[in-house]
C-alpha cells in the first residue's frame, strides 16, 4: 500500500492528520482514507517541524499494515548534509521509504529536486529518505492529478483540514 499524508493544526487545539491509501504508487487506485487526532501539539520550532507533525501521523497510521511508501507534505531532510526533517523521522518511525513533497523552498534544502506539474510555473520541492531523490521526483511527477499538487496530497490536505471522509471514486 502507498500512503500520502498531511497534518492540519486545529484552531481550538491539537492536530488532525489524514492519510490517503492507494494500491499503486501513482495513487490512481485509491483504497481508503484514514484520519487521526492528537489533542495537543508541541510549539513550533524552526527546523524541528517533525516534533509537531509526527504524533498526528502516528495517530492516522496506527494499525495500518502493508505500507511500502509514505509521501508527506514537507521535507525528508533539510539540507545536503542529511539533517533529518519530517520525512527522515517518519522513515525511522514507520520503516518505509518516505518522499517529502514541499510546496515552498526551504533555505538550506538546496538539494531538493524541483518538480513542475500541470501548467504550474511554481515547482514542488522533492526530497526522500531511503530511496534516491531522482526516483522520488519521478514518482511525484507521475502521480495522479493534473494540478501542481498531486490529487492524493490535495485529498489528504482537505481531509486533514475538515476531517470529512470523502467518497472514493474508481
Q: What is the pLDDT of residue 168?
A: 44
What whole-number distance in Å separates Cα of residue 16 and Cα of residue 6? Answer: 9
* Domains observed in the chain: 2-162 (3.30.2170.10)
The per-residue pLDDT string of the chain (170 residues; one tens digit each, 9 = 90 and over) reads: 999 999 999 877 899 999 999 999 999 999 999 999 999 887 777 666 777 899 999 999 999 999 999 999 999 999 999 999 999 999 999 999 999 999 999 999 999 999 999 999 999 999 999 999 999 999 999 999 999 999 999 999 999 999 865 544 43
Residues 6+ apart with CB under 8 A from 117: 124, 140, 141, 145, 147, 148, 149, 150
Phi-psi region of 72 (alpha: psi -120 to 50; beta: other; left: phi over 0): beta
Q: What is the pLDDT of residue 40?
A: 87
pTM of the model: 0.92
Amino acid at each position: 500500500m502507498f500512503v500520502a499524508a498531511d497534518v492540519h493544526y486545529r484552531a481550538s487545539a491539537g492536530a488532525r492528520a489524514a492519510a490517503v491509501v492507494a494500491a499503486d504508487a501513482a495513487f490512481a487506485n485509491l483504497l481508503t482514507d484514514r484520519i487521526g487526532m492528537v489533542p495537543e501539539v508541541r510549539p513550533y520550532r524552526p527546523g524541528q517541524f517533525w516534533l509537531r507533525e509526527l504524533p498526528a501521523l502516528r495517530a492516522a497510521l496506527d494499525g495500518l499494515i502493508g505500507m511500502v511508501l509514505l509521501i508527506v507534505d514537507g521535507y525528508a531532510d533539510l539540507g545536503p548534509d542529511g539533517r533529518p526533517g519530517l520525512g527522515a523521522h517518519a522513515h525511522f518511525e514507520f520503516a518505509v521509504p518516505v518522499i517529502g513533497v514541499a510546496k515552498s523552498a526551504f533555505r538550506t534544502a538546496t538539494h531538493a529536486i524541483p518538480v513542475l506539474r500541470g501548467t504550474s510555473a511554481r515547482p514542488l520541492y522533492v526530497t526522500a529518505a531511503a530511496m534516491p531523490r531522482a526516483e522520488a521526483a519521478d514518482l511525484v511527477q507521475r502521480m495522479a492529478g493534473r494540478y501542481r499538487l498531486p490529487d492524493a496530497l490535495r485529498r489528504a490536505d482537505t481531509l486533514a483540514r475538515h476531517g470529512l471522509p470523502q467518497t472514493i471514486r474508481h
